[in-house]
Amino acid sequence: MIDRKLYDELGGLRGTFVRGDYEDSDLCLQLTESGRENWYLPDVELYHLEGQSYSATAEQASDRYLANRYNAWVHTHMWHDRIEQIMRDQRATAATAPSSRS
């Protein structure tokens, strides 16, 4: 969930990606870069009916695969270094956090 004003301020989902895949992750990383936090709420359930806009033909499956691979490449090109930094920061935070075990 994101406030509409903030969504609009960031430009919404970028048109950089073709036919779906990775726009949500891209938006979360844009939020991180703008100083916002992303929260994980493990008790929240979401049902995502992924791929409903794709037909089941072999040609469409091939198109979807190619689009996904392209989007993965774009996302990696744009965010690889930042994702690596976030992961390092998370590991460092986890390593220094006090244990809840007795």
Residues of the chain with pLDDT under 50: none
pLDDT value of residue 48: 76
Name the burial class of residue 17, with classes exposed (0-12), middle (13-18) and buried (19+) by CB atoms within 10 angstroms of its CB: buried
- Measured N-to-C along each axis, helices 23-33 and 58-96 cross at an angle, to the nearest 10 degrees, of 30
Task: Please write down the long-range contacts of 6-11, taking CB distance under 8 Å and 24 or more positions apart.
Answer: 6/31, 6/36, 10/34
pTM: 0.77
